[in-house]
A and B are shown apart, each in its own frame.
Chain A
Amino acid sequence: MKLYLSLILLLPLMGSAVNAVVGRYLPRRASELLACGVIWGAFVSSLFTAFAYRGAMRVDLIDWLSAFDFQAPVSLYLDPLSLVMIVMITFVCALIHTYSVAYMADEEDYVRYFALLNLFVFAMLVLVLAENLPLLYLGWEGVGFCSYGLIGFWYSDEANATAGRKAFIVTRIGDTAFGIAIVWMFKLLGTVSITALNGMGSTLPMAAITGLGLLLLIGAMGKSAQMPLMVWLPDAMAGPTPVSALIHAATMVTAGVYLLARMFPLISPSATAMAAIAVTGGVTAFYAATCAMAQRDLKRALAYSTISQIGYMMLGVGAGAVTAATFHLLVHAFFKALLFLGAGCVIAAMHHEQDMFRMGGLAKRLPLTFWPFLAGSACLAGIPLTGGFFSKDSILAAVWLKGGALYGGLCFLGLLTALLTSIYTFRMIYIVFGGEESPGKHCESAHGGCAVPRLMDGILIPLALLGIFGGLINLPSYIGAGWLGGFFATMPGGQGIEASHSLEISLQVLAGLLALTGLGIAHYRYGGDRRREVIAAGQGDATGFEAFFLNGWRFDDLYRIIFIRPFEALAVFFWQKIDEGMIDDSLDRLASVIGRSGEGLGAWTSGRVSVYIVSFAAGAALLIAYLAWTIS
């Protein structure tokens, strides 16, 4: 077991290091093969780990930090949650690495790309497998750094570098709260080991638990792009599409949810913290769904949809259903990665055109891309019997069962958001793939035609299958025992919800109806001839409500007014008044004072004998007087 876990961690790290150091001197195929091979190797290792799994265990590798009673060795904790996470992460990452080989075929700087991608996988696996919080923080920061490097991959365009920086800085706010929580926990309980912390939660006063829960929530907010720290994710689409698929759909943004699920036994006694988590998730889901309905850029629409779905996961954790949240996390990873990779296929075929309103007629042109994309969209919208349907529904059931006015309101909000999700998903489908050929792009005349490399299309297929049949992981109790629920039951806090069959069925019928209604609305607004009208109407700039949703409820402008402008004003003040005015000028003034006093003294040498005579006599008088004084 130790061997498998070490391999899981070391293979991506080694791939990254080798690529970073000697990747430039290897032939291109060798470097790519190395990068993909290590991830497939990690996947195989994780499969071996899964087969050899016998129960929760802790594996100590080496000592890392140790001073007095602060102990943080490199030790890994394998339990159902981390096991399913590493299998999912390694599989999805391996697929995306292979996809990247074809997507970045024209890119000169592929070595940096693959090195960062491998390093990211390593950091994410460390995050998931960590047994103590400092190690988790190491992985947390590692994925943040790789995300920054990959978002700003094409850094020669300043907008991309700015997007990377924005992501880093916004998540940093969350990281600070997380760091404070770690230190506070160490101060309260004297340990930073997750298993120990989860066991000692009952010894703390409620106020401390609430405080810790809120700090961890802020940390998760930053990493998982929840309100109010969600502003970085839409801009992060400046990176290459496989990066968006990997980091901002499947793995990094789920790290926040993972953290909360991990520390669930510690923070769950506090109803306030749980309510805060649930409210954050619910409101963010609604917010992002409304924004996604007005987007014109394909990737931005998918980014907002990611924010919305992670809101669902947070809602699940806040309602106490870790199993449901993890279920949705897994299925979401599959179909969101599928959607992003499909979008990458479309964008590559349209020669890096990302505006939806300039696309069209692709259902006939790119059938191998269209059908998997449709499957993913069905999962996202929650069409009955897809994986997305079951997972979203289990979350809503858990929220409903929690009871109380707050959770009832959140359940209603979640259902409304499901409707909006369905609408914007099929809006996307109709605008991008529907209709005839868009007049803006003539594929025949373009170089290379509108073709998608075979490899890229091929990767979509396993993801589509996993998305559609993902519901099998955790079927609701009236069909068969949920495998995931049973697996998680051994974990503290992983107990599934016990709902009556009738409640489950009615809720599922309701959700399914909402999804189909959304499909209908979208077809009504965007299908067939109406599509042309919509596209023609959308040629100008957006106004009114649409502009409000298009700009993400204008949160960027709000933050600019509240934080950035005062900060810049403060910086200018410190620069001009204090740095130049006080510090520099004080030195200048000191120098000029000395200069002027020197000039004043220099006026003594007037060249006139009369002045010298008086000075001479004064000096002599002084000397003789001093002599007389000392002698007498």
Chain B
Amino acid sequence: MEQIFFYILAAVVVIATLMAITARHTVHAIIYLATSFFALAAIFYLLGAPLVAVFEVIIYAGAIMVLFLFVIMMLDTGKWEKAHGPTFAQWWPALLLGVITFGAMFALFTVKTPESLAGWSYIDARQFSLILFKRYGVAVEVISLQLLFALVGALYLGRRKKQ
């Protein structure tokens, strides 16, 4: 049962991402992307990572994509009807390199097919936070510092100069 859900959600993710990268208007792309992130969050939950799923929706689809939207709307990038997406001359390196990379990765993934373990496991919040703050405590502190840097940098870069 969960298997079917997984494949349906996987299809949603792929199609949504595909629409996102071929959209002409950036805002359309962001919306499609948000859709794909929702489906991805559901996949996370199916893989037994509810906390990551929640964070995906709140932080990624909620904060980061909204930030993108703010910035896009703030910048005046011209009429989207008149904009044209990338031509084939721009697409072919992307396709070529993407296919090569994917082909190599596929070869690596299928070298040994590991047997799948039956059953559905689930790691809840308590387990997660215990490991996070006990084993990776230093990482948490460092990340919070890094967020501080980013905050300061973003504030500085975005300030308005006094005329």
- A-side residues, CB < 8 A to B, are 614, 617-618, 620-621, 624-625, 627-629, 631-632
Contacts and interface: CB of A to CB of B under 8 A. Distances in A.
A624 B93 CA distance: 17
Interface string B90-120: 0001100100110111011001000000000
Nearest to A620: B101
Specify which of B93, B101, B104, B105 lies most central, judged by the most chain A CB atoms within 10 Å of its CB: B104
A621 B97 contact: yes
Contacts of B108: 624, 627-628, 631-632
B105 A618 contact: no
A122 B24 CA distance: 106
B101 A621 contact: yes
A621 B93 contact: no
Contacts of A624: 100-101, 104-105, 108
Nearest to B106: A628
Rank and list the top 6 A-B pairs by shortest CB-CB distance, nearest first: A628-B104, A628-B107, A624-B104, A625-B104, A621-B100, A621-B101
B122 to A, nearest CB: 33
A621 B104 CA distance: 8
Question: Interface residues of B: mostly helix, strand, loop or mixed?
Answer: helix
A614 B91 CA distance: 11
14 contacts: A617-B97, A618-B93, A618-B97, A620-B97, A621-B100, A621-B101, A624-B100, A625-B100, A627-B104, A628-B108, A631-B107, A631-B111, A632-B107, A632-B108
A621 B96 CA distance: 10
Nearest to B108: A628
A417 to B, nearest CB: 98
A628 B105 contact: yes
Contacts of A631: 107-108, 111
Contacts of A628: 103-105, 107-108
Interface of B: 93-94, 97, 100-101, 103-105, 107-108, 111
Contacts of B107: 628, 631-632
Nearest to B99: A621
Nearest to A622: B100
Contacts of B101: 617, 620-621, 624-625
A293 B62 CA distance: 123
A632 B111 CA distance: 7
Contacts of B103: 625, 628
Given A628-B103, A628-B108, 8 more contacts: A614-B97, A617-B94, A624-B108, A625-B104, A627-B104, A628-B105, A631-B107, A631-B111
A613 to B, nearest CB: 9
A351 B10 CA distance: 121
A187 B103 CA distance: 79
Nearest to B101: A621
A532 B108 CA distance: 119
Contacts of B105: 624, 628
A620 to B, nearest CB: 7
Contacts of A625: 100-101, 103-104
Contacts of A618: 93, 97
A614 B107 CA distance: 23
Contacts of A621: 97, 100-101, 104
A614 B104 contact: no
Nearest to A616: B97
B65 to A, nearest CB: 22
Contacts of A627: 104, 108
Nearest to A617: B97
Contacts of A620: 97, 101
Nearest to A619: B97
Contacts of A629: 104
Contacts of B94: 617
A631 B101 CA distance: 15
Nearest to A632: B107
Specify which of B93, B101, B103, B108 lies most central, judged by the most chain A CB atoms within 10 Å of its CB: B101
Nearest to B109: A628
A7 to B, nearest CB: 98
Contacts of B111: 631-632
Contacts of B104: 621, 624-625, 627-629
Nearest to A624: B104
A617 B99 CA distance: 11
A629 B100 CA distance: 12
Nearest to B105: A624
Nearest to A623: B104
A430 B131 CA distance: 134
A624 B108 CA distance: 9
A24 B25 CA distance: 102
A116 to B, nearest CB: 84
A219 B110 CA distance: 92
A617 B103 CA distance: 14
A614 B100 contact: no
A625 B104 CA distance: 5
A632 to B, nearest CB: 5
B141 to A, nearest CB: 31
Nearest to B107: A628
Contacts of A632: 107-108, 111
Contacts of B97: 614, 617-618, 620-621
A622 to B, nearest CB: 8
B92 to A, nearest CB: 11
B105 to A, nearest CB: 6
Nearest to A610: B90
A455 B97 CA distance: 107
A614 B93 CA distance: 7
A631 B105 CA distance: 11
A242 to B, nearest CB: 93
A246 B2 CA distance: 126
A51 to B, nearest CB: 109
A627 B111 CA distance: 12
B137 to A, nearest CB: 33
A618 B92 CA distance: 12
B54 to A, nearest CB: 32
